[in-house]
Amino acid sequence: MTSHPPIESYDELDSTNAEARRRADAGEAGPVWITAGVQTAGRGRRGRAWSTERGNLAATLLTLTDRTPAEAAQLSFVAALAACDLADTCLGAGAARLKWPNDVLVRGMKAVGILVESGARADGRLWLAVGIGVNLAHAPQDVERPATAFADHMAGPPPAPLAALEVLASAFERWRTAWATQGFAPISAGWSERATGLGQRCEARLPNRTLVGVAEGLDVDGALRLRLDDGGLERITAGDVFFGDG
Q: What is the DSSP string of 87-140?
A: HHHHH-TT-EEEETTTEEEETTEEEEEEEEEEEE-TTSPEEEEEEEEE-SS---
Please indicate, yes or no, if residue 124 is contained in any of the structural domains.
yes
pLDDT of residue 212: 93
- What number is the average pLDDT over the span 97-122? 92
Range of the domain at 131: 7-193
Please indicate, yes or no, if residue 44 is contained in any of the structural domains.
yes
| Contacts for 185 with CB less than 8 Å, ≥ 6 apart | none
Distance CA 17, CA 245 (A): 30
Query: When comparing pLDDT for 43 and 168, which is higher?
Result: 168
Please indicate, yes or no, if residue 48 is contained in any of the structural domains.
yes
C-beta separation of 170 from 59 below 8 A: no
Residues 24 and 99 in one domain: yes
pLDDT of residue 46: 46
Residues 42 and 161 in one domain: yes
Residues 41 and 100 in one domain: yes
Residues 106 and 168 in one domain: yes
pLDDT of residue 154: 93
Sign (positive or negative) of CA dihedral 36, 37, 41, 46: positive
Please indicate, yes or no, if residue 189 is contained in any of the structural domains.
yes
Would you call 233 helix, strand, or coil by DSSP?
A: strand
pLDDT band at 51 (very low <50, low <70, confident <90, very high): low
Please indicate, yes or no, if residue 78 is contained in any of the structural domains.
yes
Looking up residue 208, the CATH number of its domain turns out to be: 2.30.30.100
pLDDT band at 104 (very low <50, low <70, confident <90, very high): very high
Query: When comparing pLDDT for 41 and 20, which is higher?
Result: 20
User: Can you give the pTM of this predicted structure?
Assistant: 0.90
- What number is the average pLDDT over the span 170-174? 97
pLDDT band at 31 (very low <50, low <70, confident <90, very high): very high
Residues 184 and 226 in one domain: no
What total of structural domains would you count in the chain?
A: 2
Residues 176 and 98 in one domain: yes
pLDDT of residue 238: 83
**At residue 103, does pLDDT exceed 60?**
yes
Residues 170 and 206 in one domain: no
Pairing outcome for strands 57-65 and 126-134: antiparallel
Please indicate, yes or no, if residue 146 is contained in any of the structural domains.
yes
Residues 139 and 170 in one domain: yes
Residues 141 and 40 in one domain: yes
Please indicate, yes or no, if residue 2 is contained in any of the structural domains.
no
pLDDT band at 1 (very low <50, low <70, confident <90, very high): low
**At residue 6, does pLDDT exceed 80?**
yes
**At residue 21, does pLDDT exceed 50?**
yes
Distance CA 100, CA 54 (A): 28
Looking up residue 31, the CATH number of its domain turns out to be: 3.30.930.10
- What number is the average pLDDT over the span 125-134? 95
